[in-house]
Amino acid sequence: MPILFLAGLDILAYVDIGVIAAYGLCFLMLKKKLFYPYTLVCGNIFLVFVSVATVLCGLKFGFFLTLIGLSCVAFYTAYFSKRRGVKYAIAWVFTSLAVFFGIYIYSKLRDPYYTASPAWAEVVLFSINSIVSFSFIAVYLSMFVMYTMSLEKRITSESRTDELTKINNRYGLYDHLDEIEYKSNCYLAIFDIDDFKHVNDTYGHVYGDFVLQEVSRRTASALPEDFLCRYGGEEFILILENEPDLASVKAKLEALRDSIKKTSFVHDGHEASITITIGVASYPKSGNTERWIDAADEKMYQGKNSGKDQVVA
């Protein structure tokens, strides 16, 4: 506003005073949480001011450039407001562009009201309007990119998380195996719940789901530093890294097995004791991940066939 007065653009300066007053009144809407009407009114005020400024001053001051930035704001609103009930946001994109081309063509065909103005005012105002326009574009594109990256990260996380137990699934397992730099001191343990079909048949699938959730929770709590995933059904896999030897790993797994065995699983009027059988294997010399899983699986089935409720290494 001071620049407009100093440049002798008095009419536009008075219009700007009216715009500032209108913006001030608009903040009253925020106190009442009228966010959509606030945005709509502010956007329209901005649109009118830019149009009037371009008609009065022509293209040399660059007021019309800010409409490009405004279209970015409108597009961002259109993209992110679908689930928040904001209407006609897409129309704002086309309205901004229509006004942009309309005042551009008008200014090319007719002389502006202010035909003479200081050179410094043209440079300063054109620079300010250019910065405002590019700032709109930069800020909202940055927000769009950050949101997209956040969404991508969330989708990746959800696709690698078991829906029932909220631990990693087999896709998360393969990602983790790829990330381990030194596998020579790693051990893979696979375990499942003994006679789980009997548990489901006796107490129902709701109770069975509860057991799976509790087993995963207790395992994660007992071995917080180790990677845990639900491999499928009632099968779980543990990756134990930086272990000194197999004996140390077996001791950890025996403690886990004993803890599960001593736990009484009570839910919705049902109570049962659960046991698990664990097979563990060191990283194979072949370096084949599938062979590593198969080796631990073979050990687990050895335990199943020799009485269950044990750790086989």
Q: Does 249 share its domain with 174?
A: yes
User: Which of residues 159, 186, 212 is at a domain's end?
Assistant: 159
Q: Does 20 share its domain with 138?
A: yes
Is pLDDT above 90 for 304? yes
Domain limits at 304?
Answer: 170-312
CATH number at residue 241: 3.30.70.270
For Cα atoms 54, 56, 61, give the angle at the middle one, nearest 5 degrees: 50
What residues act catalytically?
Answer: 234
Q: Does 298 share its domain with 178?
A: yes
Per-residue pLDDT tens for 171-196?
Answer: 999 999 888 877 778 999 999 999 99
pLDDT at 86: 56
State the sign of the Cα–Cα–Cα–Cα dihedral 69, 75, 80, 82.
positive
**R_g of the chain computed on alpha carbons:** 33
Q: Using CA atoms in the order 248, 249, 250, 252, what is the torsion angle rounded to 10 degrees? A: 90
Q: Does 104 share its domain with 205?
A: no
Q: Does 221 share its domain with 255?
A: yes
Q: CB neighbours of 79 closer than 8 A, spacing ≥ 6?
A: 144
62 assigned to some structural domain: yes
165 assigned to some structural domain: no
Q: CB neighbours of 51 closer than 8 A, spacing ≥ 6?
A: 99, 103
* CA nearest to 7, candidates 128, 115, 112, 118: 118
Per-residue pLDDT tens for 241-250?
Answer: 988 899 999 9
Q: How many domains does the chain have?
A: 2
Q: What pTM was estimated for this model as a whole?
A: 0.61
Which 3 state secondary structure label does DSSP give 312? Answer: strand
Q: Does 13 share its domain with 147?
A: yes
Is pLDDT above 90 for 158? no
pLDDT at 61: 92
pLDDT at 82: 54
Residue with tokens 């919705």: 268
Is pLDDT above 80 for 34? yes
User: Which of residues 98, 126, 159 is at a domain's end?
Assistant: 159
Which 3 state secondary structure label does DSSP give 182? Answer: coil
Neighbours of 150 (CB within 10 A): 10
Q: How far apart are CA 194 and CA 308, in angstroms?
A: 7
Per-residue pLDDT tens for 70-128?
Answer: 888 777 776 666 555 556 667 777 888 888 899 999 999 998 988 888 899 999 999 99
pLDDT at 179: 86
Neighbours of 33 (CB within 10 A): 8
Instruction: For residue 184, count CB atoms less than 10 angstroms from its CB and return exposed for 0-12, middle for 13-18, buried for 19 or more.
Output: exposed
> Does residue 35 contact residue 48 with C-beta atoms inside 8 Å?
no
Is pLDDT above 60 for 238? yes
To the nearest whole percent, how much of the chain has pLDDT over 90? 54
The mean pLDDT of 143-151, rounded to a whole number, is: 87
260 band by pLDDT with thresholds 50, 70 and 90 = very high
pLDDT at 88: 67
To the nearest whole percent, how much of the chain has pLDDT over 70? 96
Q: Does 30 share its domain with 113?
A: yes
Q: Does 38 share its domain with 131?
A: yes
User: Which of residues 159, 181, 215 is at a domain's end?
Assistant: 159
Residue with tokens 């990756």: 239
